[in-house]
Structure formats: structure tokens, C-alpha cells
Amino acid sequence: MPSTSSGRCDRAEVGWASKGNHLGSDSWAQGLRVNYHWNWAIFWDVSPDGVHTYFQTLLLGTAWTLLTAACAWIVAIALGSFVGVVRTMPFAWAVRFGDCFVELFRNIPLVVQMFLWYFVLPELVPHAFGTWLKQLPDASFYTAVVALGLYMSARVAEQVRSGILSLPRGQRYAGLALGLTLSQTYAYVLLPMAYRIILPPLTSEFLNTIKNSSVALTIGLMELTARARSMQEFSFQVFEAFTAATVIYIAINVVTTFVMRALERRSAVVGYLGSKAQAAER
């Protein structure tokens, strides 16, 4: 029969071993926390390009982010408005075309679309044209604008369609009864009202365009997120780099939100959701 004293010793040894492992893991974790050296002055050090400081490189990345988002938004609002109008026209073939466009570009992830436009398209077109695309200066920027613009245009198209369908049907008939053509009815009667109604959700889509521009780093565009990653890879100051990028993104979006809210207040339609929300705020 085994002695109880040896069993107690074995259990004590196991307990001390587990306690020692626990203490060792705590010490290791504390060491990780203590060994990180914060260095906020890193932003004023010269970056690896030998010309700009890290802070200046982040500003350059911010400029590329804003330029990409602005150009992509122009594509999105123009193409999305066209597709949204097409989906409300009294032509079955036009509605089917618009539905296919929206479902195609809305349901494919943005990063996949970026890869398709940047890596696959040059291989599918004629060789001379594909070579020209590959050698195009700032090719990643143009690809990001096209891919992001098409992706967001599908979302804008849905907003425009919803705004037009939310209007009373009599407005369309009234415009046609006055002798306006169908295109004139859309241009002068339906779309001015629809845009004012959907301005709040369009604000959200514009903010999404700014944030989604960060996906362009996967095809080599040195926008804000890519610059932050480059900074942390060369300086090993990961927290400083991404804290700065986060603050810049928040500042951009806050300014955009205030501007769009001011525009919403000025263009709110009396009797619709926007005007009721503003009355509640007051």
C-alpha cells in the first residue's frame, strides 16, 4: 500500500510547479509590458527615404487617402446615380441591368476586386495594352480609384433607388403631365428631392469610402495605413505609428461628418425624415 506522505509530496511538487509556471508567465508578460519603449519623438526622425520625417510621410499618406477617396467618390456618385435611376425606370431590361450591376459589385469583397483589377486585368487584355497598364505611373492609385468607385457605386445606386421610390408616385406623373420628358422629370423633379432625402445615408457611404481606401495598401498604394505600417516596420514603434493613423482617420471623419450635417440641415425637405430629426434636435 503506498504511503500517504509520498502522495502529499507529489501533490505539493505539482502545486509548486504550477505556481512557478504561473509566476513565470506573469513575469514574462510584465517584462513584455515594461520592455516596450515609448518614443513619441520618432515622428521627427528622418524616415528611410532620407528626405521626409515620419510625420511628413504620414501626411503624404493622408493626402493619398483623401485623393483616392475623393476620386472614388466622384466615380461612385456619378455611376451610382445612373444605375439607381435605371433601376426605377419603366423598362424591364434596364431594371435587370441595374440589378445585375448592383449584385455583382456589392457582393464581391473589395480586396478581391482590387486584386482582379490590378493583377488579373492586365493579363486578360491584349499584350500591348496590358504592358501599358503594368508600366503606368501610379497604377495602384488608378486601380484603387476604379475598384473602390465601382464597389461604392453599387451601394450608392441602392440609396438613390430607395430615395426615388420613397417619393409619392404622383410627382412623376405630375412632371410628365406638365409636358416634361422622362429624363427631364428625373432631372428637375425626382432627383433633387431624392438627393435631399438620402443625404444622411450618403454621408455614411462617403465615410465608408474614406475608410475603405485603406484596402489599397494590398496593391501597393502608399496611403495612410500603408505609411503607418511602413513606419512601424522600420522604427519598431508600432503603437506610435498606428495611434497617429487612428487620430488622423478620426479627425478626417469628424470634420466630414460636421460638414455633411450642416449640408443636411440646409437641404432638409419639410415633412420628411430629415426635417423631423432636426426639429427634435432643436
d(CA 175, CA 10): 92
Report the pLDDT averaged over residues 92-118. 93
pTM surpassing 0.85? no
Whether the predicted pLDDT of 169 surpasses 90: no
- Grid cell, residue 186, equals 428625373
Report the pLDDT averaged over residues 87-97. 91
Report the pLDDT averaged over residues 184-196. 91
State the pLDDT at residue 11: 43
The CATH code of the domain at 66-281 is 1.10.3720.10
State the pLDDT at residue 2: 46
Whether the predicted pLDDT of 5 surpasses 90: no
- Grid cell, residue 104, equals 455583382
Q: Which residue has the higher pLDDT, 75 or 15?
A: 75
Strand, helix or coil at 99? helix
Whether the predicted pLDDT of 252 surpasses 90: yes
Instruction: Of 146, 154, 174, 179, give the one whose Cα is nearest residue 86.
Output: 154
Report the pLDDT averaged over residues 186-196. 91
d(CA 57, CA 67): 15
Report the pLDDT averaged over residues 64-91. 95
Report the pLDDT averaged over residues 225-229. 93
Percent of the chain whose predicted confidence (pLDDT) is above 90: 53
d(CA 75, CA 145): 8
Q: What is the mean pLDDT of the chain?
A: 84
Could you count the other beta carbons within 10 Å of the beta carbon of residue 83? 24
HSE-up (13 A, CA, CB side) for residue 155? 21
213 in Cβ contact with 71 (< 8 Å)? no
Alpha-carbon distances of 192 from 130, 199, 218, 223, rounded to whole Å: 41, 11, 38, 34
Residue pLDDT, tens place only, 33-69: 557 788 888 888 888 887 889 899 999 999 999 999 9
